Structure 1
Amino acid sequence: MDALWPLIRAGLFRFDPETAHTLSVKALKAGLGPRAALKPDARLKVDVAGLSFPNPLGLAAGYDKNADVPDAILGLGFGFAEIGTVTPLAQPGNPKPRIFRLAADEAVVNRFGFNSEGHGAALARLQARRGRSGIVGVNIGANKDAADRIADYVAGIRAFAGVASYFTANISSPNTPGLRDLQARDSLKALLAAIMVARDEEAIRVGRKVPVFLKIAPDLTEEGLDDVAAEIQASALDGLIVSNTTLSRAGLSDQVQAKEAGGMSGKPLFERATTVLAKMRRRLGGNVPIIGVGGVHSTETAAEKIRAGADLVQLYSSMVYEGPGLPARIVNGLSMLCDREGLGSIRDLRDRTVEVWAGKTLA
């Protein structure tokens, strides 16, 4: 597959990005994706929030929005997969076109707007895979026209508590008007309180307490990061995901597609997302699990997220450019990094460059 990827990518790039995305999901569903031949490496195992991850690399939400192919994703070599964002009711999302390739920058701009088949469709698929191994998280969101957005997140917890390995509360998409307002301190406090009550109530019903992560934006100010950190520390939240897409277009060479509205992801996000990651690690101390996302496209960028304070790492946009063989290359590369540096565990990398990254200024 790696040898053929340049030809496959050229073919896919003849289609508009959303059509190419849909074709790739259909290919995985049909069993046409590669199966990673990974040698088990105990050094890559990471225990976080009561879950044991076989390796620290996961696929971020946004690719498998409706839980069509979580097992095929795991088969690519990922240590975990995150489906969604799923909203309570089905909704079409924003008008097309709504995703744009910035090939010169290896970036993507999207304004999907939580297009989702709704809780019922995703839940049925996850119930059908019950009993299979593998960590599959569920990323939950609110409907665009919800009268009570906090109630939508609570509904997500209640719907998926029996099938989710973990939850991600996504309050950081820039493509649902007003959603990021939930990051404001009073709103965040109310959201976290409601979610954690629902999680604890569902734990009695399903017999396990499902970990909950919060996904934040990379565009927060220092003061905003202070507020988020304070509310996390005051709650029973299990961890943080840093970060979602950015509204910034700094440093892009493609100034045509860059003008499209939406969140930008891919290589150019790495600097800011990693800076915010380290700043949050410094604020939260060493015990709160953090998943680092944004701009990961190689073994070295995955490793640097860990050095900057991440326990786990996710990617998505880089697969548009690097193909489905990327996760296996990164995971194998992390094993080789452990060999080179004499690491007993990949966790030994964590926090080595936190102060370097946390000292950077948020532009």
Structure 2
Amino acid sequence: MGMTDIGAAILRGLDPEVAHRLALQALRAAPLPAPRPDDPVLRTRLAGLDLPNPVGLAAGLDKNGEALHGLARLGFGFIECGSVTPLPQPGNPKPRLFRLTEDRAVINRMGFNNAGLEAFAARLADRPRSIVVGANLGANKDTEDKAADYVAGLRRLKGLADYVTVNVSSPNTPGLRALQGRAALDDLLGRLAEARTGDPAPVFLKVAPDLTPDEIAMIVEAAIAHGIDALIVSNTTLDRPETLRSKDRGEAGGLSGAPLKARARAALTSAAEAASGRLPLIAVGGIDSGEEAYARIRAGASAVQIYSALVFDGPGLVGRIKRDLAARLRADGFSSVSDAVGSAR
């Protein structure tokens, strides 16, 4: 167990939101060594972005882009910060983050708490250039025209982020997930396409796992029609599997971690079937091992993202997933990640 993993074990004993804040402060201040170069078999390309490995950090850990230099040294292939909204907002009342230890799960109803677009843009201007950094865009709770907030985020971060993710799938902002309907989606994606004219940075769309295969197929078609560069499948779920044992299992909010695995897998399979190779997919939700990362890649994902598993396993998990993934790729005769994408379909 490395020092960072011992630190993670100590943090697990604290209030979840306090632990989260302390972990960010440690990442900002700790003089972490540079990660070892990745196994060349892990190198891949995603929507025009060159990645040293396909294991990314999902949005939510670093909402304000304040620990990017530390995160860049943990071995991720890419890191996504945010969600950021145009105006600062405090989010929902506390407590709003719950660690379901027995279930290796987390429930959050943070409500896009963040310091706003200007503070975020200033931090991105000072970001590490050694790693692909994405920005996850949200909409303010009180904004009536939610699409306008995404357009504002896209315009302000031009040239600062390597990609932006349009997050229409958080369950914690009223009305947000309604943007996944076809008419609202066409309006939003059409306005984003117009706003990004001449901007080479790819735009990704992050969707909920609580959608039917038909709804996912419709979103895939809308994304392709409007030039979206990749789909992130998927966000947290409002579902509460009957297997949950932790005392906080009934808390409101989005559930992530191990119990999300089956639902996120199913959503990925639906997206891969609908996309038929026309749209790159990024898998997120319950990924906690090299075996699971490999299964998602073989199911059609070009890359994966992790977050909740880090809460329970510490940052050493990144290296373990990469080593196992490289071994599995080689054992099955693949010379690159992209060769394995969709190979189980």
Q: TM-score range by the shorter chain?
A: over 0.9
Match of 1:334 among 304, 321, 325: 325
**Aligned pair 1:164/2:155, yes or no?**
no
Residues 1:281 and 2:272 aligned together: yes
What is residue 357 of structure 1 aligned with on the other side?
A: none
- Which whole-Å CA distance do the structure 1 matches of 2:245 and 2:5 have between them? 21
Shift, 1:350, TM fit: 1.4
Give 1:242's aligned residue: 233
Contact persistence 1:174–1:262 (CA under 8 A) = yes
CA distance 1:6–1:215, change in 2 (3 Å) = closer
Which has the higher mean CA deviation after the structures are superposed, 267-276 or 218-227? 218-227
What is the CA-CA distance between 1:336 and the residue it aligns to? 1.9
Q: State the distance in 1 between where 2:52 and 2:9 align.
A: 33
Q: Residues 257 and 308 of structure 2 are in contact (CA less than 8 Å); yes or no, is this contact kept in structure 1?
A: yes
Change (3 A) 1:322 1:10: closer
TM-score (norm 1): 0.91
Q: In the TM superposition, what is the alpha-carbon distance from 1:70 to its structure 2 partner?
A: 1.6
User: Which residues of structure 2 form unaligned runs of 5+?
Assistant: none
Match for residue 141 of structure 1 among 138, 141, 153: 138
Q: Tell me how far 1:35 sits from its aligned partner.
A: 3.9
Q: CA separation of 1:341/1:14 partners in 2, compared to 1, >3 Å: closer, same or farther?
A: same
The residue type paired with residue 43 of structure 1 is V
Residues 290 and 98 of structure 1: is their aligned pair in 2 closer, same or farther, counting only changes over 3 Å? same
After TM superposition, give the deviation of residue 351 of structure 1 in Å.
Answer: 1.1
> What is the correspondence of 1:1-363 to structure 2 with a 5 Å cutoff?
2-3=1-2, 7-31=6-30, 34-35=32-33, 37-129=35-127, 132-200=129-197, 203=198, 208-254=199-245, 256-354=247-345
Distance 2:34 2:267 in 1: 32
Structure 2 SS opposite 1:29: helix
Aligned-partner Cα distance in 2 for 1:224–1:95: 32
Aligned partners of 2:5 and 2:219: how far apart in 1?
A: 42
**Separation (CA, whole Å) in 2 of partners of 1:326 and 1:270:** 17
Deviations 1:23-42 (A, max 9, x none): 0000000125x546434322
- Note the alpha carbon deviations across 1:29-67, whole angstroms, 9 max, x for none: 0125x5464343222111121110110000000000000
Amino acid at match of 1:186: A
Aligned residue identity for 2:222 = E
- Aligned residue for 2:255, secondary structure, equals strand
In structure 2, C-alpha distance between the alignment counterparts of 1:343 and 1:223, rounded to whole Å: 32
CA distance in 2, matches of 1:301, 1:193: 35
Number of equivalenced pairs: 345
Q: Distance in 1 between matches of 2:17 and 2:9?
A: 15
Deviation string, structure 1 residues 247-289 (Cα, Å, up to 9, x no partner)? 1111433252110000000011111101111111110111311
Deviations 1:132-176 (A, max 9, x none): 221000000100001211000000000001111001000000000
Find the aligned partners of 2:243 and 2:269 in 1 and give their Cα distance: 23
Give yes or no for contact 1:36–1:328 (8 Å, CA) kept in 2. no
Q: Mind listing any 5+ residue stretches in structure 1 that lack a counterpart?
A: 355-363
Q: Does the CA contact (< 8 Å) of 1:252 and 1:258 recur in 2? A: no
- Is the Cα contact below 8 Å between 1:35 and 1:77 reproduced in 2? no
Distance in 1 between the 2:269 and 2:253 partners? Answer: 25
* Seq. identity, %: 48
Distance 1:141 1:306 in 2: 27
Does the Cα contact within 8 Å between 1:270 and 1:296 map onto a contact in 2?
yes
